[in-house]
């Protein structure tokens, strides 16, 4: 099937329907790059399919595959979305719908509670003068962190126009749109910040290693880098299969094991100071699984949310933890 011309796909549809039109289901269309035969993290060729799924939350056409490298454990989308595919799935209309999906899955109160807890956990850091929140979206984390860092200047960076809305609403003092690894961005912001945070951001980046190098480049010497990611080794991934929200298809391009991230940070000259799996856990696994399942299961959202909350104390301190947070210091 021949794909539609790029221009029509980039135009918001008319009428009451919200969001982008359905993408072509043909895997040979320009939304996907050629399939990789080697791991993008370590270069190894011992790859096996971890998961095949569609877009379970949005129910859009298209099939996506996550491969796992048996050498280093890195999990990645293969074939990966092309630049055109990324633009399609991450355009602003779709990004706004993701905010709505996050609200449905975790509730706005739970999101704010997680952001406030993250800021509190980081309050042991000597109060920084300047902080860049990468992947900030609408600036929820800077808004929550001001309670604990009242004298810190918070800037935001995001691939979408949401960061500009965060600026208009006073959640960030400067707004930077794009990827941190966009040519020229790291050079322009070089050694400007005492803290750089990447909360659940690297899994969306086409090249997470380049994004990490750029994050360290904009830090001042002695500054701290905070990275939080979904954990591809969470037991919920095996228990819930394609319905585990941590897989996040088609938006999650890379799922990085904790050991790989720590080794990369050390190799780039950072010193890992804190590893926290307990407070990085977000109790939404069962709720997300219900919402991505058949429509008849949607009525179970309430019980699933209660069960997520009840399991949270156990999950935080076990293999069920769905995330991890690393704090590293730039030498």
> Has residue 80 been placed in a domain?
no
Query: For residue 169, what is the domain's CATH number?
Result: 3.40.50.150
Distance in angstroms (rounded) separating the CA atoms of residues 85 and 110: 30
Q: Please give the structure tokens belonging to residue 250.
A: 């088609």
Q: What is the pLDDT of residue 319?
A: 97
Per-residue HEC secondary structure of 119-133 comes to HHHHHHCCCCCEEEE
Q: What is the pLDDT of residue 29?
A: 72
pLDDT truncated to tens, each residue of the chain (331 aa)?
444 433 333 333 333 233 334 444 455 678 899 999 999 999 999 999 999 998 876 766 678 999 999 999 999 999 999 988 887 776 644 555 555 555 454 456 677 888 999 999 998 888 899 999 999 999 999 999 999 999 999 999 998 888 999 999 999 999 999 999 998 999 999 999 999 999 999 999 999 999 999 999 999 999 999 999 999 999 999 999 999 999 998 889 999 999 999 999 999 999 999 999 999 999 999 998 998 877 768 788 889 999 999 999 999 999 999 999 999 999 8
Query: Is 17 contained in some domain?
Result: no
Range of the domain at 317: 96-330
Number of domain units in the chain:
1
Residue 271 located in a structural domain: yes
* Domain contains 298: yes
Indicate whether 265 belongs to any domain.
Answer: yes
Confirm whether 204 is domain-assigned: yes
| pLDDT of amino acid 324 | 98
Main-chain phi, psi angles of 325, to 5 degrees: -130, 135
The pLDDT score that the predictor gives to residue 20 is 39
> Is the C-alpha dihedral spanning 315, 319, 325, 331 positive or negative?
positive
Task: Order the strands of the 193-199 sheet from edge to edge.
Answer: 175-177, 153-158, 130-134, 193-199, 219-230, 323-330, 270-276
Phi and psi torsions of 322, nearest 5°: -95, 5
Asked, for residue 48, whether it belongs to a domain, the answer is: no
Assigned domain for 201 exists: yes
What is the rounded distance in angstroms from the CA atom of residue 201 to the CA atom of residue 273? Answer: 20
């Amino acid at each position: 099937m021949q794909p539609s011309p790029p221009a029509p796909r980039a135009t918001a549809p008319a009428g009451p329907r919200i969001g982008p039109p359905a993408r072509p289901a043909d895997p040979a269309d320009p939304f996907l790059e050629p399939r990789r035969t080697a791991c993008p993290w370590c270069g190894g060729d011992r790859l096996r399919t971890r998961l095949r799924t569609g877009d379970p939350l949005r129910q859009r056409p298209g099939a996506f595959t996550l491969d796992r490298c048996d050498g280093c454990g890195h999990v990645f989308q293969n074939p990966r979305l092309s630049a055109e595919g990324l633009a399609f799935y991450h355009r602003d209309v779709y990004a706004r719908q993701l905010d709505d999906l996050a609200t449905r899955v975790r509730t706005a109160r739970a999101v704010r509670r997680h952001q406030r807890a993250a800021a509190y956990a980081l309050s042991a850091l000597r109060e920084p003068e300047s902080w860049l929140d990468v992947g900030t979206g609408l600036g929820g984390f800077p808004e929550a962190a001001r309670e604990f860092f009242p004298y810190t200047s918070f800037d935001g960076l995001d691939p979408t126009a949401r960061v500009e809305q965060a600026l208009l609403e006073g959640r960030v003092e400067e707004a930077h749109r794009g990827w941190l690894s966009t040519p020229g961005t790291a050079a322009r912001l070089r050694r400007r910040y005492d803290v750089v945070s990447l909360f659940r951001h690297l899994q969306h980046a086409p090249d997470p290693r380049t994004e990490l190098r750029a994050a360290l480049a904009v830090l001042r010497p002695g500054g701290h880098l905070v990275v939080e990611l979904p954990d591809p080794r969470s037991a919920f991934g095996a228990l819930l299969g394609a319905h585990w929200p941590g897989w996040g298809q088609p938006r999650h391009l890379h799922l990085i094991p904790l050991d790989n991230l720590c080794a990369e940070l050390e190799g780039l000259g950072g010193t890992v100071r804190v590893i926290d799996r307990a407070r990085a856990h977000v109790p939404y696994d069962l709720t997300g699984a219900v919402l991505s399942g058949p429509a008849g299961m949607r009525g179970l959202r309430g019980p699933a949310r209660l069960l997520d909350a009840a399991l949270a104390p156990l999950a935080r301190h076990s293999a069920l933890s769905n995330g991890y947070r690393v704090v590293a210091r730039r030498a």
